[in-house]
Amino acid sequence: MTGEIVDRFADIRVLRYEVPGFESLPLRRKMLLYCLSEAALWGRDIFWHQNGHESLIVRRVMECLYCYQVQRSKVDSRLEKYIKLIWFANGIYHHYSNDKFPVDFDLKTFERWVQEVPADVFLSKVGKTQFEIIERFKPVLFDSSFQSKKVNLKEGEDLVVTSAVNFYRNVTQAEVEKLYSADGNGRNPLNSQVKKTDSGEIIERVWKIGGMYDAAIEKIVYWLERAEEWADGDQVDVIKLLVNYYRSGDLKDFDKFNIKWVQQKDSPVDFINGFIEVYNDPLGLKATWESIVEIVDEAASSQIELISKNAQWFEDHSPVDVKWRKPKVTGVSMNVINAVMLGGDCYPATPIGVNLPNADWIREQYGSKSISLANITKAHHEASRSAGVLQEFAASEEEIERQEKYGQLSDDLHTQLHECLGHGSGQMANGVTLDDLKAYGSTIEEARADLYALYFMADDKMQEIGVAPSKDVAWAHYDAYLRGGLLVQMARIEEGKDIEEAHMRNRQMICKWTMERAEQSGAASIFERDGKHYVRISDYEEMRRLFGEMLREVQRIKSEGDYEAAKNMVETYGVKTDKALHKEVRERYASLNVAPFSGFVNPRMELVKKDGNIVDVVMSYDESYVQQMLRYSKEYAV
């Protein structure tokens, strides 16, 4: 059932994942997972609220309309498509392109839908009259220029004013930069909204108990405290520290939590829960709320230990300048886990690997924890195998064969090297932080980790330590990486649009930067056959050398905080697409009729009680996408 396609609409497919072995866990562990899962689900509306000022109210109104139409058995397909889209994006902006979703219906139709529903439904569920809803929604739904972009990264524009993301209210980029450029002590750049009050004062509204998002955080804390009762050893303290931080909102407490969390490595159950990733902030300061609850896959994890055990060897043999290598790599760990519950920014679209914490100084002193999500990766693979993308874009039969043989292994290996070694490698010059690269920081950091993986996957060390049977694993991956970064990923970008998302910018940037050099030496080329373009590598070792050369430069940029070089590299190679090629890729991809984006429904967990006592937790896998979204909106609304 893992990889089953549960729903399919627009450019999206929704898959199911399973949690192998859950049934046979002891009750104590099941209860811990249950409580952490509740804490994961209660943050949903925080993330919705962060995703634009209008997102939550749009969801509530659309759900009223949708449920009413379902009751009457006359659901309008245009409404259904729209509501499925916003559910998936946790808001009214596409989760990848950040563009506001256009609607297929007009204002008159919308007014009719609203007026069909009894007025008291809106009053009780949304707290607004029909008239108020229609007036408020006119610009939101029908004026494409109104708050049109969630995250705007366009150089030269006021990124704060032109981004609809709900981290800033009535302030300009200059005002925010001023606020955080002065003495940063006592401020909460990561976990607050910056707002200008009516009297013109600029304040931070901190996300904590008693602060902004109080109601949802109360629930998260409640379930974390229940989880504490079922946790063992150090994990009890880890959870306590997280609760402390949610109470104080003080980032020093968040550091304390992260330091304890990153050192707590032996528990079979682990979790991510908090305001963590900054990709949705055009300035890279504010974090979206997210959660993953996970259980370790013991067998797979022991294989990865072979990599992490050799972390120092990799660092010593890295192609980066010796002064930016880390003299002593500490605490690099990597766990293969199975996801048990996804929440906030990790649901329904979810990463396949995570490396935390993000604070560079904690990573340098205490190391970092990496996870690779085995059941999620497996679901992606199962769902993609039959799609035909490889056959369409691969340059030769040989390439297809090698990819089918080693694709899963090389993907796993890439994630492991990227998360476990890549992000944890290198060191900064004194006083430099990733924030110095501003909007380009995320892309540069992802490139650094990808290049580390690309470079070392082709090292003899892989065969020596026994994680890859031959170099063909790396060569299969080089084909796949260039095919993806130069061709296939453009299918996800609308024609005429630039690449915005950091991971995608990073992939194209690496491919174009190395390709420019490889084409000169003849190591690789883009060629045309029957009107279609393909990528061919003829000298794989030379490609590896180029990945190493680029890694050296990218590490220098990060270590020195060289903003101009970061900007130049990202803007030159990562942002613009080749228009004709972009069009061709989209047409070829469209002819395959596969959805370029995937996400997941969660399993459903329920307590089994007997005579008032909890005797078991059962997990079921039969909920549809629509059922799950409506249930979450009802059960986890604050």
**CA distance readout (Å), 373 to 5, 271, 478, 485:** 18, 12, 22, 22
| DSSP states along 170-239 | S--HHHHHHHHHS--TT--SSSEEEEE-TTS-EEEEEBSTTSBTHHHHHHHHHHHHHHHHH--THHHHHH
Instruction: Answer for the pair 301, 334: CB distance below 8 angstroms, yes or no.
Output: yes
User: Which residue lies nearer to Zn ion by CB, 440 or 534?
Assistant: 440
Shortest distance, CB of residue 418 to Zn ion, whole angstroms? 6
Closer CB to Zn ion, 449 or 509, in the complex = 449
Q: Give φ, ψ of 106 to 5 degrees.
A: -100, 175
State how beta strands 353-356 and 368-373 pair.
antiparallel
CA 610, CA 241: separation in Å to the nearest integer? 34
In the complex, minimum distance from the CB of residue 446 to Zn ion, in angstroms, rounded to a whole number: 5
CB of 251 to Zn ion, least distance (A): 22
Q: How far apart are CA 384 and CA 597, in angstroms?
A: 11
In the bound state, the residue with its beta carbon closest to Zn ion is 449
CB of 353 to Zn ion, least distance (A): 7
Q: Rounded to the nearest 10 degrees, what angle do helices 472-486 and 397-416 cross at?
A: 90
Output 415 or 577, the one with its CB closest to Zn ion: 415
* Mask for 51-90, x = binds Zn ion (CB under 5 A): ----------------------------------------
Beta carbons of 179 and 187 less than 8 angstroms apart: yes
Q: How far is the CB of 503 from Zn ion (least distance, A)?
A: 7
CB nearer Zn ion, residue 341 or residue 449: 449
Give the pair of three-digit tokens for residue 421.
């070694």
Distance CA 288, CA 46 (A): 8
Q: Rounded to the nearest 5 degrees, what angle is found at the Cα of 506, between the Cα atoms of 505 and 512?
A: 85
Q: How far is the CB of 506 from Zn ion (least distance, A)?
A: 9
The CB-of-505 to Zn ion minimum distance in angstroms stands at 13
Residues 439 to 498 in contact with Zn ion, rule: CB under 5 A: 449
- Closest to Zn ion by CB, 421 vs 575, is 421
Residues 360-379 that bind Zn ion (CB under 5 A): none
Nearest distance in Å: CB 624, Zn ion: 32
Cα–Cα distance for residue pair 537/521, rounded to 1 Å: 11
Which is nearer to Zn ion, 85 or 449 (by Cβ)?
Answer: 449
Length, in residues, of the chain = 638
Between 417 and 467, CB nearer to Zn ion: 417
Residue position matching structure tokens 């290996």: 413
Residue among 7 and 445 whose Cβ is closer to Zn ion: 445
Q: Which is nearer to Zn ion, 192 or 427 (CB)?
A: 427
Q: Could you say which DSSP state residue 150 is in? A: S
- The number of residues that bind Zn ion (CB under 5 A) is 1
Round to whole Å and give the CA distance between 358 and 272: 12
Calculate Rg over the CA atoms of the chain.
24
Q: Is there binding between residue 278 and Zn ion (CB under 5 A)?
A: no
Whole-number minimum distance, CB 478 to Zn ion, in Å? 19
Residues that bind Zn ion (CB under 5 A): 449
